[in-house]
């Protein structure tokens, strides 16, 4: 399987704290993306980082990418109860249309 992995599997923090989750993947990529899934629903795209970028910001989200280690991290700053969801990274393999997701991190933000 080419499925990536995320850690931690689950994370519980207080509102206002920062949440960091990590993703490791297995193949060379063109870009890496992060998605959020609210309970029982489809996934929503959050942010894309290309393989030649090292860091990207979008609002309270910060993503880093280390292609030498085949890993990425997603930082959510000043978390809110509404950030409670599962977060997944997804990668496309170079030279293929295959699109692979990781195992996900379940984030719970306590009010």
Partner 1 sequence: DVKVTQSSRYLVKRTGEKVFLECVQDMDHENMFWYRQDPGLGLRLIYFSYDVKMKEKGDIPEGYSVSREKKERFSLILESASTNQTSMYLCASMAHGNTEAFFGQGTRLTVV
Q: Footprint of partner 1 on this chain (CB under 8 A)?
A: 1-3, 6, 9, 30-31, 33, 35, 40-45, 48, 88, 90, 92, 97-104
Q: How far is the CB of 80 from partner 1 (least distance, A)?
A: 23
How far apart are alpha carbons 84 and 86 in whole angstroms? 7
Q: How far is the CB of 11 from partner 1 (least distance, A)?
A: 15
Is the omega angle on the peptide bond into residue 11 within 30 degrees of 0, that is, cis?
no
Residue with tokens 């910060």: 62
Closer residue to partner 1 (CB): 15 or 51: 51
């Amino acid at each position: 399987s080419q499925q990536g992995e995320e850690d931690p599997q689950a994370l519980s923090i207080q509102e206002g704290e920062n949440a960091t989750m990590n993703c490791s993947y297995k193949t060379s990529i063109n870009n890496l993306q992060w998605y959020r899934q609210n309970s029982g629903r489809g996934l929503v795209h959050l942010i894309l980082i290309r393989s030649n970028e090292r860091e990207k910001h979008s609002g309270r989200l910060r993503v880093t990418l280390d292609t030498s280690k085949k890993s990425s991290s997603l930082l959510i700053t000043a978390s809110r109860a509404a950030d409670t969801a599962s977060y997944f990274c997804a990668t496309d393999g170079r030279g293929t249309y295959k699109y692979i997701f990781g195992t996900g991190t379940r984030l719970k933000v306590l009010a």
